[in-house]
């Protein structure tokens, strides 16, 4: 090849390379979503120079009684990037820490934007952190913690201070009260989405908290309550009517109060009668023996 031919060839090659680089820079500036076919052979090389630090993922957690699932979204910062994702797991349980180690340990690495860890005990808490990585660098960690749901009883569950059950239309909360409690010593209020039951006789607050979902509570006859003696215990039962009845099992409430545990709705009982609106029922008992007028129990109403 003569010197003149070499100069022409080198000039053409340089022009082609500069054209590719210019086009690549334009692609970066234009926020293109995909690389054109001609640019893909250059990706392994140019990604080192044109790749950008990945964006921070947005993580959402969900769980069942035996597993926790993480899903995340993360917009690509450049078409030259090949984003990968890393999930690390830790726990607040010292027994598990002895097996995993004190620090977070990698539990997932790949292109997928979802990760599920299974074979966990019910009501078990784990901590995670997620980040994106590519040729341009690493995003900040996003830390989340979540726990598995608890195993329900019937269509509700047991908490430390109360138990609860539900149908598709009603939810009933049961609290054990002092044996000396009477209907005249009770103050029960459903207001602003909160339930409060107070015993005036001993100055004890029996239950107080934000109700999980919207209920009908005009202060007249939209909730009912009663005192009942079962064995050696005295129980206060408060029944609330849901504003939006559940149409399927997954619409059932996972908890009665916001402060309570989450129960696995997939394991809850769903009565086939609830599929028929004409047969919707109250929670665990018939309407007999339950009444409320201005938040007064049936006994007080009769006595008046």
Identical topology for domains 58-147 and 157-303: yes
How far apart are alpha carbons 48 and 126 in whole angstroms?
36
DSSP-assigned states of every residue in 190-246: EETTEEEEEETTTTEEEEEEEBSS-B---SSSSEEEEEEEETTEEEEEEEEEBSS--
C-alpha span between 132 and 74 (Å, rounded) = 8
| C-alpha to C-alpha distance for 110 and 95, rounded to whole angstroms | 28
Top CATH class of 58-147 equals mainly beta
Burial class (CB in 10 A: 0-12, 13-18, 19+), 110: exposed
> Over its length of 304 residues, how does the chain's per-residue pLDDT go in tens digits?
666 655 655 656 656 555 555 555 555 544 555 666 656 666 666 666 666 889 999 999 999 999 999 999 998 777 777 889 999 998 666 766 676 666 688 899 999 999 999 999 999 999 999 999 988 889 999 999 999 999 999 999 999 999 999 999 999 999 999 998 998 999 999 998 999 999 998 888 999 999 999 998 755 556 789 999 998 899 999 999 999 999 999 999 999 999 999 999 999 999 988 887 655 455 544 444 444 434 444 344 334 3
pLDDT at 30: 45
- pLDDT at residue 121, rounded to an integer: 95
pTM of the model: 0.74
Residues paired with residue 143 on neighbouring β-strands, in sequence order: 129
Q: Where are the domains of the chain?
A: 3-49, 58-147, 157-303
Rg (CA), the chain: 31
Tell me the per-residue pLDDT of 149-174, one tens digit each, with 9 for 90 and over.
Answer: 999 999 999 999 999 999 999 999 99
Residue among 173, 290, 282 at smallest CA distance from 235: 173
Task: Choose among 237, 242, 187, 239: nearest CA to 212.
Answer: 242
Can you give the pLDDT at residue 293? Answer: 38
Predicted pLDDT at 298: 39
Separation CA 260–CA 287 (nearest Å): 27
Q: What is the pLDDT of residues 228-244, one digit of tens each?
A: 999 889 999 999 999 99
Token code pair at residue 123: 């009501």
- CA separation (Å) from 204 to 177, 228, 253, 296? 9, 18, 28, 19
Domain 157-303 adopts which CATH fold? Immunoglobulin-like (2.60.40)
Contact 251, 134 (CB under 8 A): no
pLDDT the model gives residue 228: 92
Cβ-in-10-Å burial (0-12, 13-18, 19+) of 3 comes to exposed
* Predicted local distance difference test score (pLDDT) of residue 302: 38
């Amino acid at each position: 090849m003569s010197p003149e031919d070499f100069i022409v060839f080198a000039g053409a090659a340089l022009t082609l390379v500069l054209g590719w680089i210019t086009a690549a820079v334009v692609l970066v500036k234009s926020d293109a979503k995909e690389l054109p076919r001609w640019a893909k052979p250059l990706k392994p090389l140019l990604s080192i120079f044109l790749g950008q630090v990945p964006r921070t993922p947005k993580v959402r957690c969900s769980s069942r009684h035996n597993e926790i699932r993480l899903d995340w979204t993360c917009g690509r910062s450049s078409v030259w990037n090949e984003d990968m994702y890393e999930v690390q797991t830790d726990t607040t349980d010292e027994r598990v820490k002895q097996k995993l180690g004190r620090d977070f340990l990698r539990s997932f690495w790949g292109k997928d934007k979802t990760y599920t860890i299974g074979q966990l005990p019910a009501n078990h808490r784990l901590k995670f952190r997620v980040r994106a990585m590519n040729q341009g660098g690493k995003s900040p960690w996003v830390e989340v913690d979540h726990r598995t749901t608890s195993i329900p009883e019937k269509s509700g569950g047991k908490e430390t201070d109360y138990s609860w059950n539900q149908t598709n239309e009603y939810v009933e909360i049961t609290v054990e009260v002092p044996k000396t409690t009477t209907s005249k010593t009770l103050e029960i209020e459903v207001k602003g989405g909160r339930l409060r039951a107070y015993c005036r006789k001993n100055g004890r607050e029996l239950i107080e908290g934000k109700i999980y979902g919207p209920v009908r509570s005009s202060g007249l006859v939209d909730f009912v309550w009663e005192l009942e003696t079962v064995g050696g215990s005295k129980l206060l039962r408060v029944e609330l009517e849901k504003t939006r009845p559940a149409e399927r099992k997954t619409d059932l409430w996972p908890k009665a109060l916001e402060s309570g545990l989450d129960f696995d709705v997939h394991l809850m009982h769903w009565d086939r009668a609830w599929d028929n609106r004409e047969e919707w029922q109250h929670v665990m008992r018939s309407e007999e023996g339950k009444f409320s007028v201005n938040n007064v129990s049936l006994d007080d109403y009769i006595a008046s």
